[in-house]
Amino acid sequence: MNVQKLDRQYIAPTYNRFPVTIVSGRGSVVTDEDGKEYIDLGSGIAVNTFGVSDPVWQEAVIAQLGKVQHSSNLYYTAPCALLAEQLCLRTGMRKVFFSNSGAEANECLIKALRKGAADRFGPERNLIVTLENSFHGRTLTTLSATGQERFHALFQPLTPGFVHVPAGDLEALRTLTEQNAGRIAGILIECVQGEGGVIPLEPDYVKGLADLAEEQDILLGVDEVQTGNGRTGALYAYMRYGLKPDVVSTAKGLAGGLPLGATLLGERLAGVFGPGDHGSTFGGNPVCAAAALSVLERIDDALLAEVREKSDYLFRTMQGAEGVAAVAGLGLMIGILPAEKSAAEVVAACRERGVLCLTAKDRVRLLPALNIPRELWERAVGILLECCK
Ligand SMILES: *Cc1c(COP(=O)(O)O)cnc(C)c1O
């Protein structure tokens, strides 16, 4: 069977796939159909938190599969109740809504901002501010939230009510809030713009933005779909910025490789949803929730310290090195701008040499498993460095 040929014949060509067919793996090493092994620095776009077929994760999944795989949200199940408890205890948030993806977690976040503001101030307070170069998902509403024109052109009309301001420009935000006084429901940010090129927001800007939101009673939402679940060296990236958001969305790495989204509601939004206001057939699936419980339990202080150390190692090794124009990111969410080559060229060269990397805009993007063994990490960074030259 020629998988790549079959795929090209029958699957809608929305992805530019790399010419590799992954068949198996163990931890941070994946194997293609020819038996070639790669060190995986993408982990399925920040999804496989503990790599591929991690034994602890597998055990949690298999144990739940042996009990019940799905029950619908018409009944209670233990895994999603326990997971919601853990998420709340570890963030100080008050309630959780479970879905299946990042876009859905953001849809729920947007509904919470809209309804939360309308409940308190009336329905004309419905604008949501997001940042230019952001990415919030592929559904029509999350595309509208996404501050990148190239995603908008083909799918008009989009959901109205979104306004984009340049990231890092506090004056632009202040002007916008003045021009739209009493009309802004919420602000939604990614602390590190992932798809936008792995660009961390400046701490001073984020603080100014949060203060402005507080002053004007504007709700603050943080999209932690990519930055969440230990990725940046804190459980959630907003913690590294000292924020106290009203609502947080997360997905990608939450269940370590199974589809699960979560929207965390803080004090001011804890009561925003009542029966029938939102729902999802698959959301809170017990197998995904059991996987996430196991993942969360392992994202402890020791692991987070390890994430920050591995990050420091990369910055020390690559910043200012030959062939490297810039290194940016937070924790194990890193973007590297090659000095002379394109990101795609570097990624192709790495792949030849058995290292899988991703791109984001003009950057080589790294999102390794949080527990990638140090020896593998250092070896992969060495190869990446050579490929940048
Ligand atoms: C990936 C991503 C999304 C969309 O998540 P899906 O699971 O693909 O729907 C939303 N926001 C951010 C910041 C992301 O990185």
pLDDT in tens, 311-359: 999 999 999 999 999 999 999 999 999 999 999 999 999 999 999 999 9
Q: In angstroms, rounded to a whole number, what is the distance separating the alpha carbons of residues 185 and 177?
A: 11
What is the distance in A from the centroid of ligand 1 to the CA of 223? 8
At residue 368 the predicted structure's pLDDT band, cuts being 50, 70 and 90, is: very high
- Residue 224 Cα: closest atom of ligand 1: 13
Has residue 94 got a pLDDT over 90? yes
Residue 212: what pLDDT?
98
pLDDT in tens, 224-241: 999 999 999 999 999 999
**pLDDT confidence of residue 240:** 98
* Burial track 375-388 (b if 16+ CB lie within 10 A, e otherwise): ebbeebbebbbebb
Categorize the per-residue pLDDT at 249 as very low, low, confident or very high, splitting at 50, 70 and 90.
very high
Query: Is 33 within 8 Å of 372 (Cβ atoms)?
Result: no
Best of 225, 231, 250 to mutate for ligand 1, by most ligand atoms within 8 A of CB?
225
- Is the pTM higher than 0.95? The answer reads yes
Q: How high is the pLDDT of residue 336?
A: 98
pLDDT surpasses 90 at 87? yes
Predicted pLDDT at 1: 84
Closest CA to 40 of 56, 51, 54, 53: 51
For the CA of 142, the nearest atom of ligand 1 = 10
Residue with CA closest to ligand 1 atom 15: 226
Coil, helix or strand at residue 317: helix
The Cβ-side half-sphere exposure at 261, using a 13 Å CA radius, reads 24
- Strands 199-200 and 184-189, sheet pairing: unpaired
Q: What percent of the chain lies above the pLDDT cut of 70?
A: 100
Residue 81 has pLDDT above 90, yes or no: yes
> Residue 22 burial by CB count (10 A; 0-12/13-18/19+): exposed, middle or buried?
middle
| 43 CB within 6 A, ligand 1 | no
pLDDT grade for 266, boundaries at 50, 70 and 90 = very high
- Model pLDDT, residue 44: 98
- State residue 34's pLDDT score: 97
Q: What is the pLDDT of residue 76?
A: 97
- The finding on whether 195 has its CB within 6 A of some atom of ligand 1 is yes
Nearest CA to ligand 1 atom 6: 102
**Does the CB atom of residue 146 touch ligand 1 within 6 A?**
no
What is the CA(142)–ligand 1 centre distance, in A?
A: 9
Q: What is the pLDDT of residue 194?
A: 97
| Alpha-carbon distance values, 24 to 32, 51, 117 (Å) | 7, 11, 47
CA of 135 to the centre of ligand 1 (A): 7
pLDDT above 90 (res 32): yes
Ligand 1: which of 191, 252, 361 to mutate, judged by most atoms within 8 Å of the beta carbon?
252
Q: End-to-end CA distance of the chain: give it in Å, rounded.
A: 38
Residues 6+ apart with CB under 8 A from 49: 43, 229, 230, 253, 256, 257, 295, 299, 369, 370
Please give the distance, rounded to the nearest whole angstrom, from the Cα atom of residue 231 to the centre of ligand 1: 14
Ligand 1 pocket mutation pick from 109, 131, 133, 135 by most atoms within 8 angstroms of CB: 135
Give the phi and the psi of residue 249 in degrees, each rounded to 5.
-110, 145
What CA–CA distance (Å, rounded) separates 386 from 322? 9
Nearest ligand 1 atom, CA 101: 7
| Cβ(362)–Cβ(326) below 8 Å | no
Q: Is 113 in the pocket of ligand 1 (CB under 6 A)?
A: no
DSSP 60-126: HHHHHHTT-S---TTS--HHHHHHHHHHHHHH---EEEEESSHHHHHHHHHHHHHHHHHHHH-TT--
Strand 247-250 with 162-165, pairing = unpaired
d(CA 130, CA 341): 32
Which band of pLDDT confidence, cut at 50, 70 and 90, is reported for residue 78? Answer: very high
Question: Which ligand 1 atom sits nearest the alpha carbon of residue 251?
Answer: 7
Of 210 and 1, the one with more pLDDT? 210
Q: What is the mean pLDDT of residues 203-220?
A: 98
Q: Give, in order, the Cα–Cα distances in Å from 179 to each of 128, 176, 184, 252, 302.
A: 14, 5, 10, 36, 47
320 C-alpha vs ligand 1 centroid, how far in Å? 31
